[in-house]
Amino acid sequence: MRHIERQIVQLKEKILRVGTLVEEAISKSITALINRDSALAQRVMASDEEIDRMEVEVEEECLKILALYQPVAADLRLVVAALKINNDLERIGDLAKNIAKRVAQLAGEGPIDLPAEIRTMATLAQEMVRQSLDAVVNGDTALARQVREEDDAVDDARQRVRRMVLQGIKVEPERVECLLRVNSVSKHIERIADMATNIAEDVIYMVEGDIVRHRSSDY
């Protein structure tokens, strides 16, 4: 195996490790939300520091490969895609941390009926992140295209949550703080799904050299 190939295998492994941490952060932040588990929420917030640290490491790794091996063609596209995917994973970690922050805030506000849609959204978004990472590892553009299509279902669920929150506020305006936190969690999940879509688009670019973002997902 050429030196650069070994480096690229290691880079992919490192990105996958960040991906695993990020997936765990999403799933734990939602579990913490559902169970009102402040201790778990605290752990999610702490794990974000590890994600940030690894993001910097992956970026330095990418720069090292660019400087030492001066890759071209497919290898170059892979390293550039890795830089962007790394960035998106870090943002997903931040969003999970934001969800975890809401848990602490909701804790002081008595029980809420968390809409079932939130769980649906979270499951969909988590699945999209997992699939987008699988697509990265296997260079699987068919899976990447599937991720892009799944984003619509998350957007639809987000709109349903938005309407429920609005209706709830009109009926019980005194619960506005709590309902707005639910709304805010649903927005964070929507953005996690957007980031998974970005990753999927980077996979298509990495494999096919074609920049598909800003194009309809029917493409």
Looking from the CA of 129 toward its CB, the CA atoms found within 13 Å total 32
Work out how close the CB of 199 gets to a second copy at its nearest, in angstroms, rounded to a whole number. 13
User: For residue 127, what are the contacts with CB-CB under 8 A and spacing of at least 6?
Assistant: 150
Q: Which is nearer to a second copy, 55 or 150 (CB)?
A: 55
For position 127 contacting a second copy by CB under 8 A, the verdict is no
Question: Does residue 77 interact with a second copy by CB under 8 A?
Answer: yes
**Considering the complex, what minimum distance in angstroms separates the CB of residue 176 from a second copy?**
5
Write down the least CB distance from residue 71 to a second copy, Å. 8
The HSE-up count of residue 186 (CA atoms within 13 Å, CB side) is 26
- Alpha-carbon gap, residue 45 to 104, rounded angstroms: 11
Distance between CA atoms of residues 182 and 108, nearest Å: 14
In terms of Cα–Cα distance, which of 111, 126, 164, 138 is closest to 27? Answer: 126
Residue placing its CB nearer to a second copy in the complex, 46 or 63: 63
Contacts of 147 (CB under 8 A, 6+ apart): 128, 131, 132, 135, 196, 197, 199, 200
CA distances (Å), origin 138, targets 52, 123, 182: 25, 22, 36
Interacting stretch for a second copy, rule CB under 8 A, among 9-17, 39-47, 64-72, 120-128? 64-72
Using the rule CB under 8 A, which residue among 66, 104, 112, 153 binds a second copy?
Answer: 66
Q: CB of residue 112 vs a second copy: minimum separation in angstroms?
A: 16
**Nearer to a second copy by C-beta: 34 or 213?**
213
Residues that bind a second copy (CB under 8 A): 49, 52-53, 55-56, 59-60, 62-63, 66-67, 70, 72-73, 76-77, 80, 83-84, 87, 166, 169-170, 173-174, 176-177, 180, 183, 211, 213-214
